Structure 1
């Protein structure tokens, strides 16, 4: 598991949600899931990626950044601009 792989579980408007980010280190493939359903698939090559999607009336933003000179990735989640702490690190 890389630092790019993360999961977040949180409640929005009385309902539990889970966001998962998986980054394949060799291919650079990024998969973003909301409640088990794939929302986005992309690749990270030379620049950071940002994925925006609604959760109800709220905006979620997943950022996947290149780290350690491009040899690794990190991911983060903001909900309505506030940082959400991941489940695993």
Structure 2
């Protein structure tokens, strides 16, 4: 598990959504799941990756990035505001 592994549960337009990010340090692979369905897969190399999701009337953006040279982190923005998370 890495610092990028996160799960968010948010409610948009009365519907609860779960967004989960997993990162593999071995392969630098990123997966993003929305309500259990794989919606994005990529690799993290040298710069941040962003993934946009439409959630009803809102736009969610997942960002996976390097906060420093020894770690990887992720965060979620809903309509431009960062959402609190818990480790996956």
The TM tier, using the shorter chain, reads over 0.9
TM-score (norm 1): 0.92
The structural deviation recorded for 1:32 is 0.4
Structure holding more strand per residue? 2
Please list every run of at least 4 consecutive aligned residues from structure 1 whose deviation after the TM superposition is greater than 4 angstroms.
Answer: none
The structural deviation recorded for 1:2 is 1.1
Structure 1 residue aligned with 2:83: 84
TM-score (norm 2): 0.93
In 2, distance between residues paired with 1:27 and 1:73? 13
| Root-mean-square deviation over aligned CA pairs | 1.2
The structural deviation recorded for 1:83 is 1.0
Alignment of 1:57-68 (within 5 A): 57-68=57-68
Question: Unpaired segments of 5 or more residues in structure 1?
Answer: none
Question: Unpaired segments of 5 or more residues in structure 2?
Answer: none
